[in-house]
Amino acid sequence: MSPPARRALIILVVGFVTLAATLGALWYLRPGPVGRLVEQAGPQIGGEFQLVDHQGRRVTAASYAGRHMLVFFGFTHCPDVCPLALGEVSVALDALGPEAAAKVQPLFVSVDPERDTPAILKDYVAAFDDRITGLTGTPEEIAAAARAYRVYYKKVPVEGALGYTMDHSAFVYLMGPDGRLEAFFTHETKGEAMAKKIRGFLAS
């Protein structure tokens, strides 16, 4: 092969590889269905709240300013979804390691303030991870916080000693230090995947 022909071939191969790499990167970074949802609802999710933490202290969103928050709404009598989600949050904190995990405040907000007193929440969250803070409040305060986070919940009567259960949406929201939504997870997101996503936001 003559030198000009070889040069042309090299340029062609390099060009092709560059094009393939660019297309691959674009495909990898494409917004998924969840990504699109975050883009649409993101700016409206989050904001001010006035609640009581599991130590009985009054807290607001400002109490956690400057840190990332992992916000999850649920209730201690939840049979499956809440334990699953809190378990994965704990896995995520372990996967992050102590230094990164310290930059993230996980908050478990009760949608059942009637039963979830600060003392009950304290024992409940500690069973999963003592880095999780339980939050409760008056029914009005919970309603306001749920509105801010676009969380749906509803009391549903059931047979038996419990009397009622709570229907509720089950997203885990990752909020930035500026209080804006960065990402959200479902109760089915594995802790390792959560940690990977969180790490990306801690670095940026």
Question: Hey, which residues between 13 and 32 contact Ni ion (CB under 5 A)?
Answer: none
Does 134 interact with Ni ion (rule: CB under 5 A)?
Answer: no
Does 84 interact with Ni ion (rule: CB under 5 A)?
Answer: no
Amino acid at 64: Y
Name the residue whose CB lies closest to Ni ion.
Answer: 78
> Which of 46, 53, 73, 74 is in the footprint of Ni ion by CB under 5 A?
74
Secondary structure (DSSP) of the chain? --HHHHHHHHHHHHHHHHHHHHHHHHHHTS--HHHHHHHHHGGGS----EEEETTS-EEEGGGGTTSEEEEEEE-TT-SSHHHHHHHHHHHHHHHH-HHHHTTEEEEEEES-TTT--HHHHHHHHHHH-TTPEEEE--HHHHHHHHHHTT--EEEEE-SSTT-EEEEE--EEEEE-TTS-EEEEEETTS-HHHHHHHHHHHHH-
Q: Which is nearer to Ni ion, 87 or 179 (CB)?
A: 87
Shortest Cβ 144–Ni ion spacing (Å): 20
User: Taking contact as CB under 5 A, which single stretch among the options 44-52, 66-74, 122-130, 147-155 is the one that binds Ni ion?
Assistant: 66-74
Does 101 interact with Ni ion (rule: CB under 5 A)?
Answer: no
User: Taking contact as CB under 5 A, which single stretch among the options 25-33, 69-77, 116-124, 126-134 is the one that binds Ni ion?
Assistant: 69-77
Does 78 interact with Ni ion (rule: CB under 5 A)?
Answer: yes
Shortest Cβ 20–Ni ion spacing (Å): 45
User: Taking contact as CB under 5 A, which single stretch among the options 12-20, 28-36, 73-81, 147-155 is the one that binds Ni ion?
Assistant: 73-81
**CA angle 62–65–66, rounded 5-degree value:** 165
Shortest Cβ 87–Ni ion spacing (Å): 12
> Which of 34, 59, 81, 84 is in the footprint of Ni ion by CB under 5 A?
81
Does 125 interact with Ni ion (rule: CB under 5 A)?
Answer: no
Do the Cβ atoms of 67 and 102 come closer than 8 Å?
Answer: no
The contact set with Ni ion (CB under 5 A) reads 74, 78, 81-82
